[in-house]
Amino acid sequence: MAADPDLPIRIVLFQPTHPGNIGAAARAMKTMGLHDLVVVNPACEIDDVARARSSGARDVLLDARIVPSLTEAVAGCGLVVGASARRRSLSWPELDPRECAEQAVESSRTKPVAIVFGAERAGLTNAEMDQCNALVYIPSNPDYSSLNLAAAVQIIAYEIRRASNVDEKPGEKADAPPASAEGMEYFYGHLERALLESGFLKPDNPRVLMRRLRRIYNRARLDERELNMLRGTLTALASASADARAATDEVMNTPIYLDYAASTPVAPEVAAAMFDCLTGDAGYGNPHSTMHAFGRDAAMAVSRARAQVASLINAAPAEIVWTSGATESDNLAIIGAARFRSGVGKHVVTSSIEHPAVLEACRYLEKDGFDVSYVECDANGLVDPDDIAAALREDTTLVSVMHVNNEIGVIQDIAGIGRLCRERDVLFHVDAAQSAGRLPLDVVAQNVDLMSLSAQKLYGPKGVGALYLNRRRVGRVEPLFHGGGQERGVRPGTVPTHQAVGMGLAFEIARERREDDAERLAMLRDRLWSGIHAMSGVLLNGHSQHRVCHILSVSVTGVEGESLHYALDELAVSAGSACATATTEPSAVLRALGRDDQLARSSVRFSFGRSTTEREIDFAIESFCSAVEHLRRLAPKSEVALA
C-alpha cells in the first residue's frame, strides 16, 4: 500500500456555508492523503453534520484550523492557487487540475502550497483572487457547471496524489513529456525516407500521403517515448529489410560482429532519445539546477531514467547512483564500502576469476592495509558458495562475486552467496554488467547490497553506468571523487542527462525484451556450438549448463592463438575478454579453469546480440572451421596430435 504523499499542501475553504461540505471536503482530502485543512471565517458551525459527512476523516476535521482571513490562511505559502468555477480575465494564469497539481507538488518542495476554494455560491471575488498566484479551473458541462465544493476538492486532491507519484511502483515510468516539434519533424523525415525506400511512397508525388500521415500522427499527440518507439520501429524495419536483401546476396558483409559482450551497438530508439536530449530544450539544463524550468526538465528526465534502471533489478529509484560505467561502479562499491566499514573490519572476499575492475580494486585495498581472500573456482568456472562461506572471517565486511563471467559466460549462484552473506551480516556486491537484461535480476530476492551495471553492454551508450546501493544495509560508501553533493554525495559531478536518458531507455527496452532475446540468443549459441564442436579439439570453456545465453567461449587444440585470431578476421570476436587483450598475458580466467598457456591463448569468445542472425552464425561456423583446418594443415603433425 502506498504511503501518503506527505506534502505541505493545504486546502483552504473560504467562507463555506454548509457544514456538510466542510466534512465531505475533509473526507475527500484524507482519501487522497492530504491532511492540512484551513477554514476561513466559516458561515456555519463545524457541527455533527460536518463530523458525520467527514466519516473516517474526523482527524482532519479536528485538526482543521479556523482563521479569520484569507491572508492568515495562506501565510507562509509560496504558491497559492484559487479554484474558480468560471473563467476570468488573463490576470491570473489559468491551470487545469492536472497542471495545478503538478505545479503544487513541485512548488511544495520548497515552500508550502495553498489551494483556495471559495464559498459555495459566490466563489472567490477578484479581491480574494488577488492573493493567489494562479487559478485552477475545472472544466465541466457548460449547461450545468455547478460542481459541489467537496467534489471540487476531491478532483484537485486526486490530481495532487497522482502528480506526487506516491502510488508509483518502484521503477514504474512516469508520463513522458510530449514530443517536441523538432522531434516530430525528425520523425516525419525518417518516416518519409523509410516509405520512399520501401516503394510505398512515390517520389513523384509524396506530399498528399505525407500530409495525411502527419494528420494522423498529430492527432495522436505523441509523447517522447512513443516517438522514440516509432523511430526505433522504422529503423528496425529498415535493417530487417536490409538483412533480407543481404540474405539473397551471395556475399556476406564481413567482418561479422560477434563481440556483444565487449560492447553492443546503441539501440536506435536509445540513440534517438539521446539525440533529442542533446538537441532539444529539455536536455541541456543542469539537472541539479532545479531553480528553473531547464534544470527541472533535465532533472525529470534523469529521474525517469533512474526509475527505468531501478526497475530492471527490482530496486527503488533512490537506490541507483549514476557512474561512468561498470568499472567505476565496481571501484566505488568495493573501495567505497570496504573503507566506509573499515572500523568494523578490513577483510574482503572475492573470487579469482572476477573482472579486472574488481580484482584491481581489491589489490588497491590490499596496498591500503586490507586483507583480501581470492576464492578459486572449479574446473567449470563455478564458485562454490561453501568456499565463500569458508573464507568469511569475523572481520569480513564485503564479498564481491560477479553474476556472469565476462570471458566464459558461466553464471554464479549469487542467490546462494547472497543468502549466506545476509546470514553473516556481510555486504554483498555483484558485478552484473553481463547478466543485466539477460538473466532475471532481483536485488531484494537475491539479497544483493551493491550491484554494478553498465549501459554499453545492453544497447545503451558508453560512458555511463550505475551502482545499486541498498541504503538500509550499506548506509553510505566512501566516495571516490569529491565535489558537489550530487548523487547524495556518493558520486559528485553533474549527471550527464543524455547518457542517463540513454541508459534508462536501454534498460526499459531490455526489461521488455529480456525473455524473447534470451531465448533467441541461446538458440544461436547452441547452433554455433554444435557447428564448431563437430570438429575435433574444440573445447567448451566453462560449465555446459550454468551459462548465459549470449556468450560462448572455446579453446582450440593444435593451433596457435595469435594466428587463430588473425585467421578469423572475418569474425569480430574476442580472445578471452576485450579488457585483457591490451596485455599479452594469457587469460587468468582460462588458466583458472586448468587450460595451459597455449590453450588459454587459442581461446575464442563469441558473443551474440539482437542483430545476430542464423545466417551469420552459419557463416561463423564455416569461417571458424576453415581457419582451424588451415592452421592445423600448416602445423607439424606432432603439434596437432599432441595438443
Task: Using CB under 8 A, pick the residue from 317, 325, 558, 576 that binds other proteins.
Answer: 558
Q: What count of other Cβ atoms lies within 10 Å of the Cβ of residue 89?
A: 8
Rounded Cα distance, 503 and 266, in Å: 10
CB 312 within 8 A of CB 443: no
Q: Which of residues 593-612 bind other proteins (CB under 8 A)?
A: 596-598, 601
Please tell me whether residue 30 binds other proteins under the rule CB under 8 A.
no
Task: Using CB under 8 A, pick the residue from 130, 243, 366, 569 that binds other proteins.
Answer: 569
Residue 632 Cβ vs other proteins, minimum distance, rounded to whole Å: 9
Which CB, 37 or 627, lies closer to other proteins? 627
Residue 566 Cβ vs other proteins, minimum distance, rounded to whole Å: 5
Please tell me whether residue 563 binds other proteins under the rule CB under 8 A.
yes
Please tell me whether residue 633 binds other proteins under the rule CB under 8 A.
yes
Which CB, 254 or 530, lies closer to other proteins? 254
CA-based angle 54:57:62, to the nearest 5?
A: 90
Residue 281 Cβ vs other proteins, minimum distance, rounded to whole Å: 38
Kind plus residue range of the DSSP H or E element containing 551: strand 551-556
Please tell me whether residue 367 binds other proteins under the rule CB under 8 A.
no
Between 245 and 284, how does the x/- string for binding to other proteins read (CB under 8 A)? ---------xx-----------------------------
Q: Which residue has the cell 475533509?
A: 26
Residue 379 DSSP SS3: coil
Q: Which residue has the cell 551459462?
A: 547
Kind plus residue range of the DSSP H or E element containing 322: strand 320-323
Q: Which residue has the cell 554455433?
A: 528
- Among the residue ranges 18-26, 439-447, 564-572, 604-612, the one whose residues contact other proteins (CB under 8 A): 564-572
CA distances from 501 to 176, 486, 588 (A): 12, 17, 36
Residue 642 Cβ vs other proteins, minimum distance, rounded to whole Å: 7
CB 335 within 8 A of CB 479: no
Which CB, 435 or 598, lies closer to other proteins? 598
Rounded Cα distance, 398 and 419, in Å: 13
- Among the residue ranges 283-291, 320-328, 376-384, 560-568, the one whose residues contact other proteins (CB under 8 A): 560-568
Please tell me whether residue 636 binds other proteins under the rule CB under 8 A.
yes
- Among the residue ranges 240-248, 265-273, 527-535, 592-600, the one whose residues contact other proteins (CB under 8 A): 592-600
Residue 325 Cβ vs other proteins, minimum distance, rounded to whole Å: 25
Task: Using CB under 8 A, pick the residue from 411, 559, 589, 600 that binds other proteins.
Answer: 559
Closest to 37 (Cα-Cα) out of 17, 65, 56, 15: 65
Which CB, 233 or 626, lies closer to other proteins? 626
DSSP structural state of residue 404: B
Please tell me whether residue 575 binds other proteins under the rule CB under 8 A.
no
Residue 401 Cα to chain centre, angstroms: 22
Number of amino acids touching other proteins (CB under 8 A): 24
Dig out the grid coordinates for 329 from the structure.
Answer: 561502479
Rounded Cα distance, 439 and 213, in Å: 40
Could you say which of 100, 132, 421, 579 is catalytic?
579
Residue 641 Cβ vs other proteins, minimum distance, rounded to whole Å: 11
Dig out the grid coordinates for 623 from the structure.
Answer: 569461417
Rounded Cα distance, 16 and 70, in Å: 12
Closest to 337 (Cα-Cα) out of 471, 495, 442, 487: 471
CB 155 within 8 A of CB 51: no
Which CB, 203 or 636, lies closer to other proteins? 636
- Among the residue ranges 126-134, 304-312, 538-546, 555-563, the one whose residues contact other proteins (CB under 8 A): 555-563
Q: What count of other Cβ atoms lies within 10 Å of the Cβ of residue 308?
A: 26
Which CB, 253 or 289, lies closer to other proteins? 253
Please tell me whether residue 512 binds other proteins under the rule CB under 8 A.
no
Give backbone dihedrals phi and psi of 40, rounded to 5 degrees, phi first.
-100, 120
Residue 585 Cβ vs other proteins, minimum distance, rounded to whole Å: 13
Kind plus residue range of the DSSP H or E element containing 105: helix 97-107
Residue 572 Cβ vs other proteins, minimum distance, rounded to whole Å: 9
Which CB, 279 or 563, lies closer to other proteins? 563
Q: Which of residues 92-111 bind other proteins (CB under 8 A)?
A: none
Residue 562 Cβ vs other proteins, minimum distance, rounded to whole Å: 4
Please tell me whether residue 149 binds other proteins under the rule CB under 8 A.
no
Rounded Cα distance, 42 and 20, in Å: 12
Closest to 413 (Cα-Cα) out of 377, 462, 379: 377
- Among the residue ranges 48-56, 88-96, 386-394, 627-635, the one whose residues contact other proteins (CB under 8 A): 627-635
Q: Which residue has the cell 588459454?
A: 600
Residue 302 Cα to chain centre, angstroms: 10
Indicate if 579 belongs to the active site.
Answer: yes
Please tell me whether residue 134 binds other proteins under the rule CB under 8 A.
no
Beta bridge partners of 552: 606
Rounded Cα distance, 54 and 19, in Å: 10
Task: Using CB under 8 A, pick the residue from 220, 237, 240, 634 that binds other proteins.
Answer: 634
Residue 573 Cβ vs other proteins, minimum distance, rounded to whole Å: 13
- Among the residue ranges 105-113, 240-248, 504-512, 563-571, the one whose residues contact other proteins (CB under 8 A): 563-571
Q: What is the dihedral angle through the alpha carbons of 202, 205, 211, 216, rounded to the nearest 10 degrees?
A: -30
Rounded Cα distance, 395 and 194, in Å: 62
* Residues designated catalytic: 579
Q: Which residues bind other proteins (CB under 8 A)?
A: 254-255, 558-563, 566-567, 569, 596-598, 601, 633-639, 642-643
